[in-house]
Amino acid sequence: MKKIVIIGGGITGLMTAFFLEEYARDGVDYTVIESTPRPGGKIVSTHESGFIVEGGPDSFLTQKKAMLDLCHTLGLDDQLIGSNNVEHATYVWSQGRLHPMPEGMMLMAPTMILPFLRSGLISWRGKLRIGMEIFIPRRLKDEDESLASFVRRRLGAELLDKIAAPVMAGIHAADPEKLSLQSTFPIFSEMEKKHGGLVRAMIKKRWAQATHGPQHGPAPMFMTLRGGLQQLSDAVVSELRPNALRLNCRVLSVDSHINQYKLALSDGSQILADDIIFATPANVTADLIQQIDSELATKLRAIRYVSTATVSLGFKSREIEFPLDGFGFVVPHGESRKITACSWASSKFNHRAPEGCTLIRVFVGGACAESLAEQDETRLVDLARQELRTIMGITVPPVLTKVNRWYKAIPQYDVGHQARISEINKIAAQHPGLYLAGSSYHGAGIPDCIQSADRIARLIAQKMKPQREESRMVTIS
C-alpha cells in the first residue's frame, strides 16, 4: 500500500485525493493536511441573512468543461445556475462615467462594426487605430511577450488602457506590462499566427457562429452553484475517506528519509510518505522544500504573489437608484480610483440576495494597487462605500458587509513563466515521488486546478501499474 501525503486542502489538494480514489483506490493510503480550520482554500461561500457571499471566485467559464464534468460526477447538475443572459452588459469607468462595453466585443477585439463605432468609450482616433490592425504584419518571433506589449502592438494604447488591461489583468490581479501572454491568453498569439490578427480572427469566428451555430438562445457565459461554489468543495470532501483530511495542522518541515519523505507536523507528530504532493502556493512550497532541494526552492520563490480583497455589500433594492442592468464594471488603472472592479452579484446570478435586496462585490488591490488590499477591514469597507458613492451614487448604509482578504495569495504569471515552470519541473523530476500541483504553474482558475490534480493522480496511478501487475503475478504463482 503506497502512502501518499497531500499538503494543502484547497481545491487542488482535495481534487488530487478525489482522483486518487478513482484511479488507484485499492493501492493508496492518502492523507490531506490543511493548516486552516476549513478545506476549500479560496472557495468560500458565506450564508448570512439570506445573502450568499462568495469570498473568492464566484463562478466559472462554461467553455472550460472540467468543472461541468466534475459537477456531473458529484451529482450537482441540478444545482448549476447560469449567469443572467438578459442583463449581461459590462461597463467601464472612464472620464467620470460608466460606459457600456461595445456589443460584440469578444475577449478584447470587436466583432460587430456598428456597435463599436457608436460606442463613446473609445475615441475616433482609437477606433481608427484598431481598424488599422488588419494591416499590421504578424509577429514572426516565437517568444513570450507581455499582454500589454501584444495589445499595444496589435490594437493600440487606448484599447489596452480602457478595455484589455482592466478586463484581462483583472482576471489575474496582474500588471499587464508583466503578464505573460503565452501563459495566460495563448489564444491571442495563435490568432495572430493563424489569421494574421485579432480583428480578422474574431470577425471570422463571429461569422462562423452566425452561419453555422445553433439557432436557440446563447448559452450562459458563466455558471455557479445555487448555494455558492463551496457546494463543490463540500461535495468533494464528502467523497473522501473518513479521517483522510487533517485540519488545523501545519507541516513544519519535509525531508528525505531513505526512499521516503519525512514530514514534521505542528501537532508534534511525524509522517513517512512514499509520495508527497505539494498543493500549496509556490512560495509556501519553497519553504517546505528547502531542505530537500535548495535550487528548486529558489526557483519556486521566483513566482511572485500579490494581495487582493473583496468587499461584499448588501443593500435594500428600493434604496438603490442606480440601474443594475448588467454584470458590473471594471476600472482602468489610469482612472486613479481605489477599486479595480465591481460585480453586481445579484444581477449576475439569481439566489445571491433575499427578496428585495441587492448584493454588490467590490474588488480592491492586485499588482497595481496591492497596499490598498492590505488595509484593515474597517478601512476597506469605508473605501468601498466611498467609491460606490462616487461611481454609482449609493449613499445609504449597507444592511450587510463582508470582507475577504487574500494576502500574497494570487500567483503572477510574469513574462517567461512557462520557461520558469519548465525549469522547475526538470528539477522536481529528479526527486521520485515528489509532485507540484495547483494554481502556481499551469493556470489559476478552478478548472485549471482540477486538471492539475487529475494529471498528477493519473501519473501516480500509471506508475503503480507495474507494481500491481508484479503483485498479481506473485499471487498467482
Helix 147-155 crosses helix 165-172 at what angle (to 10 degrees)?
A: 160
Mean of pLDDT over the chain: 92
Question: Contact 79/226 with Cβ under 8 angstroms?
Answer: yes
pLDDT tier for residue 348 given thresholds of 50, 70 and 90? very high
Would you say residue 110 has pLDDT above 60? yes
C-alpha cell at 401: 458587509
Per-domain residue ranges for the chain? 2-39+234-303+414-476, 104-136+143-210, 305-411
CB-CB neighbours of 95 under 10 Å: 9
CATH classification number, 305-411, choose in 3.40.50.920, 3.90.660.20, 3.40.50.300, 3.20.20.70: 3.90.660.20
Q: What is the pLDDT of residue 475?
A: 39
* Correct CATH for 104-136+143-210 of 1.10.3110.10, 3.20.20.10, 3.40.50.1110, 3.20.20.70: 1.10.3110.10
User: Three-state DSSP class for 227?
Assistant: coil
> Within 10 A of 323 (CB to CB), how many other CB atoms are there?
10
pLDDT-above-90 percentage for the chain = 81
Out of 3.50.50.60, 1.20.1250.20, 3.40.50.300, 3.40.30.10, the CATH code matching 2-39+234-303+414-476 is 3.50.50.60
| pTM (predicted TM-score) | 0.92
Query: CA 33, CA 184: separation in Å to the nearest integer?
Result: 29
pLDDT tens track for 206-238 = 777 666 655 455 668 789 999 999 999 999 999
